[in-house]
A and B are shown apart, each in its own frame.
Chain A
Amino acid sequence: MKADIEPRHGRTTKLAALVVAALLAVTFPLWAGDLYQLHLAALIAAFWILIGGLNLVIGYTGQLSIGHVGLLAVGAYTFAILAGTLGLHPALAVGAAGALCGLVGLLLGLPSLRLPGFYFAMATMAVALIVGEFIMANDELTGGGIGLAVPALPAPFDSPAGFYYLALALAALVTWFSWNVARQMWGRGLIAIRDNPVTAQSVGVPVFRAKLKVFVFSGITAGVAGAVFASLQSYITPDTFVFELSLFFFVCIIIGGRGSIVGPLIGTVILTALPELVAPLAKLGNFFYGLLLLAVVLLVPEGIGRVFEVIAERLRPRRVESVPVSPDLRRLARALGTQR
């Protein structure tokens, strides 16, 4: 249960902002300038399906997975092979992609989540490279370096707007799931694991199982995201899933701030859209992401959101009300008296 600390007006502004943002997202196809913007918005939604799940792993539990692009690739290829080559119904293929990636997440998490920070990061990075190797090696299945055409989704989702709504709905679902996890006791437990695993264990948080469950969840979302992403791209090659894409996911979360859902969401929207809208940034690409990550780590490790909080505190200092507590000595004496 969340204690009611925030002042009323703060919550209403937050709610209003949320409603406005949701309205903007839902009506986007009506006022979007061209099809490319709609494509970009669908891409943001597809990325957010992955990042929303990954956020629980990185932002809340503090497990620095830098290999989720491997899971994205597994999801994308599963969808492409099942729905394209084998002709399965696309909805089933999306589900299968999610399930398979959840399984991969389980198999990967079982050994690697026991390892300390750097070892875990290296193990996940290795998975990204291994997936690339497998795709290149099994070329009769995956098309190797040539790639694979991905079928479009059936009727209501084959138009750009329909596809956008599907991606948006999935993204909203993931957001809702992760918000449910984050605000309950679960989320507190995860944050405790991030901040001090020993303490978390000593107060009864099942450290390894909590990590594993969250990691498997992020695997499932990565698989679904992969399927949506592949269908959006309509053609996938191993070069689509470069390791730097992992870094991009990572930067979105770190910049948005760890232990928050809105922050990484805004980070995803801005970082996906920015290189597309500002041409010189697209050329620099990963250099820009690296620079951004370095700047955030050195200057505001809590995320960009912290900057706004500091500014807001300057503009409108929070009033700290002191609540004097006067001891009820007579009641205490009575209580002590009855005890004796």
Chain B
Amino acid sequence: MWSVIVSGLATGALFAATALVYNVMFSTSKVLSITTGHIAMLGGVFGAYFISGLGMPWIVGLLGAVVVGAAFGWLTDVLAIRRVLARSDEHLWLLSTLALATMVQQSVALWWGTEPKPFPRLIPQDFSAGIADQKFWLPIGMAIVMALGLELFYRRTMYGKLFVAMSEDAFAARARGVPTDRIRSLSYVIAGAMGALAGFAAGQLTFAYFALGLTLTLNGFIALAVGGLGSNVGALIGGAALGLLNAFSSYYVGGEFQQTISVGLLMLILLLKPEGLLGSKSIRAV
């Protein structure tokens, strides 16, 4: 039973981390990017490439993966967000991020191959460790550290406060002299680094697999919608709930209907409490 709970929490931690990445990008641009899951996928694939492929020590591999993620985050802003936000059509960012996500996924498939490849062990540990295995505890620890770090960043640093200001009202922030374009770029870089870190930490759980991105985009979004858009604590709760639900349903029902059950949870929450567990109600001006 414990193994089900721990493995569920570990997958949930990855979903929660993806939801946090969504939140960081959403706070400054009001965009829910389809590339979110693909950032984590890049972290896993490049981590495996740097460590297993090039034989680097794991700390260098981690740094490399984070740099790749941050670069991709910046690229997302430049290619898919900047020009699209200048126009006022609200659907266009959905199309541009979908296009970018497809391009990245296909490039990785062509370069890395379509088979899932193993991710190297980071800490020397016996494979018989059971529920104390690092592949479970690394993502859980990472998600908690990430949420705490984000909270500190928002509360204690000037840039964090600028993020909050922009998420409240980007126009007002601009009027007060906040360089909104630069802050948005920065938020995408941070989101890219965080996503790559999440993919790296969960690499042993998910393997380095090119098609991970789309699944993570969906599940991270479900975690986000369940917890409440914009809330970091909500993201953690939503991720954990979704991960546990997945683990228990595959324990009792079988692994075939995971996606169905997750989407069922999403629909249930959206029907009962459309703003999510901890989200703030948005009032639409008509």
**Contact between chains at A130 and B102 (CB < 8 Å):** no
Interface residues of A in 273-315 (CB under 8 A from B): 284-287, 289-294, 297-298, 301
**Contact between chains at B270 and A111 (CB < 8 Å):** yes
Identify B259's interface contact among A119, A130, A198, CB under 8 A.
A130
Instruction: Report the minimal beta-carbon distance from B242 to chain A, rounded to whole angstroms.
Output: 13
Closest to A244 in B: B102
Q: Does A126 contact B (CB under 8 A)?
A: yes
Knowing A130-B260, A247-B102, A287-B102, the reply to whether A117 touches B270 (Cβ < 8 A) is: no
Q: In terms of DSSP, what is the predominant structure of the interface of chain B?
A: helix
Identify A137's interface contact among B84, B98, B214, B256, CB under 8 A.
B256
Question: In whole angstroms, what is the CA distance A285 to B110 when docked?
Answer: 10
Question: In whole angstroms, what is the CA distance A125 to B94 when docked?
Answer: 13
Instruction: Report the minimal beta-carbon distance from A146 to chain B, rounded to whole angstroms.
Output: 16
Count of interface residues, chain B, beta-carbon cutoff 8 Å: 42
**Contact between chains at A297 and B102 (CB < 8 Å):** no
A to B contact number (C-beta, < 8 Å): 102
Knowing A117-B91, A119-B270, the reply to whether A133 touches B102 (Cβ < 8 A) is: no
Question: In whole angstroms, what is the CA distance A93 to B258 when docked?
Answer: 30
Q: Does A210 contact B (CB under 8 A)?
A: no
Identify B90's interface contact among A112, A117, A243, CB under 8 A.
A117
**Contact between chains at B99 and A297 (CB < 8 Å):** yes
Closest to A139 in B: B256
Count of interface residues, chain A, beta-carbon cutoff 8 Å: 40
Q: Does A186 contact B (CB under 8 A)?
A: no
Task: Write out the residue numbers on chain B whose beta carbons fall within 8 Å of the beta carbon of A287.
Answer: 102-103, 106-107, 110
**Contact between chains at B218 and A129 (CB < 8 Å):** yes
Task: Write out the residue numbers on chain B whose beta carbons fall within 8 Å of the beta carbon of A66.
Answer: 98
Q: In terms of DSSP, what is the predominant structure of the interface of chain A?
A: helix
Task: Write out the residue numbers on chain B whose beta carbons fall within 8 Å of the beta carbon of A250.
Answer: 98
Interface residues of A in 101-160 (CB under 8 A from B): 111-112, 115, 117-119, 121-123, 125-127, 129-130, 133-134, 136-137
Task: Write out the residue numbers on chain A whose beta carbons fall within 8 Å of the beta carbon of B27.
Answer: none
Contact with A along B83-103 (1 / 0, CB 8 A): 110010111101110111111
Q: Does B105 contact A (CB under 8 A)?
A: yes
Knowing A293-B98, A294-B100, the reply to whether A119 touches B260 (Cβ < 8 A) is: no
Interface contacts beyond A66-B98, A129-B259, A290-B106: sample of 8 additional A-B pairs, CB < 8 Å, sorted by A: A111-B267, A119-B225, A125-B214, A126-B259, A126-B266, A293-B99, A294-B99, A297-B95
12 chain-A/chain-B pairs, Cβ below 8 angstroms: A64-B91, A66-B98, A125-B218, A133-B257, A133-B260, A137-B254, A250-B98, A285-B106, A287-B102, A287-B106, A290-B98, A293-B98
The 3 closest A-B pairs by CB, nearest first: A137-B256, A290-B102, A294-B99
